Amino acid sequence: MRLLFAGTPAVALPSLEALRSAGHEIVAVLTRPDAPLGRKRVMTPSPVAARAAELGLPVIKADKIDADAAAAIAAAAPEVAAIVAYGALIPPSALGIPEHGWINLHFSLLPAWRGAAPVQHSVINGDEVTGASTFLLEKGLDTGPVYGTMTEAIRPADTSAALLERLSHSGAVLLAQTIDGIAAGQLSGVEQQGEISLAPKLSLEDGHVHWDDPALAINRRIRGVTSEPGAWTMLAGQRFKLSPVLLRTDVTDLAPARLRIEAKSVLVGTGSHAVELVQVQPAGKKLMQATDWARGLANKEDVVFE
């Protein structure tokens, strides 16, 4: 089929490649405009835009589907649109442009975790299984009929970044199979069933660690916000960034937020048992091993996170 592909970050690239390999004619690629990147804030095309340029595909850059973008999409005359993490809503006026609609790859088992951050919320919530769904976009938020699903176990040490990377590849296969089925006239959507949960975009505050929480909840939150928006606490009035921690069920006598610096480990008390810091990033410094950071402290006996 003549296909429009909509996506922006690197997580969308496996789907673009899978659809190309499946033999569909990609008539245009819709992606977000170039954005400043790095310390020098150099304007840089999105990963999807860069790959589309390498492949010689027509690119439509738009941060929203306005009249100009809709006209460009219509001019490409796609029979179907496949969308993976494009980063903006498709307005009702544009939903009917492709004959077979917009088929979205969403990284959850709908109707669980509808919204912008399904993988992060799944990890933070402590889900044991997640997956991906392909569904038809409609006016509601991730409410459309589902064409297919696949499941993925969440591993104990998974960060949302690692889990999303796996889902991007397995989900790409699901998306290609869905488009194949629609093209063959052998696939139709099924209305969503089950308990609805919402996964709004995370803010910086969602990465703030509260040491009165149980260790398991802290561990899940840190893994869930890694790599975006990132986990942090406060030390001496400055933000102190954290990588995923280790659970230390053998240490139960450490007060919440208080540190215990040992020869080979740095422990922090929580609302239950302690956790062990692995890598940290003090304000103004690079990411480093927690033990290396601790060795540079003048006072190792009375360190408490705020």
- Cα–Cα distance, 110 to 232 (Å, whole number): 30
What percent of the chain has a predicted confidence (pLDDT) above 90?
94
pLDDT of residue 182: 97
Domain ranges of the chain: 2-183, 204-295
| Widest CA span in the chain | 70
pLDDT, tens digit, for every residue of 113-134?
999 999 999 999 999 999 999 9
CATH code of the domain made up of 2-183: 3.40.50.170
Coil, helix or strand at residue 20? helix
Beta carbons of 210 and 128 less than 8 angstroms apart: no
Look up residue 221 and give its two tokens.
Answer: 């939150």
Is residue 199 within 8 Å of residue 118, measured between CB atoms?
yes
What value does the mean pLDDT take over residues 69-90? Answer: 97
Domain 204-295 homologous superfamily, CATH: Formyl transferase, C-terminal domain (3.10.25.10)
pLDDT at 30: 98
Torsion region of 142: left, alpha or beta (phi above 0 gives left; psi -120 to 50 gives alpha): left
pLDDT surpasses 80 at 218: yes
Tell me the two tokens of residue 44: 């840089």
Distance CA 173, CA 179 (A): 10
* H or E element that contains 9: none
Which pLDDT score is estimated for 302?
A: 85
